[in-house]
Structure 1
């Protein structure tokens, strides 16, 4: 089925020094998301990045 929408179920999440979490981006594959995490890890201090997958109904 192709309704013209692009599915981007993989999220890159960032957590800052204060525990605040932010969505950095959405990606089509886990490999793309992990590549972004790898490029961001280590920048700045006390920032954590990780990959999460959206559930089929759009939630985490």
Structure 2
């Protein structure tokens, strides 16, 4: 999948307290996506963040 001309196969996903899942953003590399997920997770809120590759089975 692309956004403009860039290939962005890595997603950061957020799951809230009710089990609802939302796409936070799309990124070119796993490392970039993981840094975003880690920075959001470090805020201490009770949300769960993880990284998925497009086409990879969900949790």
Three-state SS of the structure 1 residue aligned to 2:6 is: coil
Who is 1:30 aligned against?
Answer: 30
Misfit runs of 4+, over 2 Å: none
Distance 1:52 1:26 in 2: 10
**Take 1:54 and 1:42, find their aligned partners in 2: how far apart are those partners?**
24
Larger Rg computed on CA atoms: 1
Provide the residue aligned with 2:51 in structure 1.
51
> Which consecutive residues of structure 2, in runs of 5 or more, have no partner in the other structure?
none
- Segments of 5+ residues of structure 1 without an aligned counterpart are none
C-alpha separation in 1, matches of 2:6 and 2:30 = 15
Show CA shifts across 1:15-45 (max 9, x none). 0000000000000000000000110114312
Alignment: residue pair count: 52
Structure with greater strand share of residues = 2
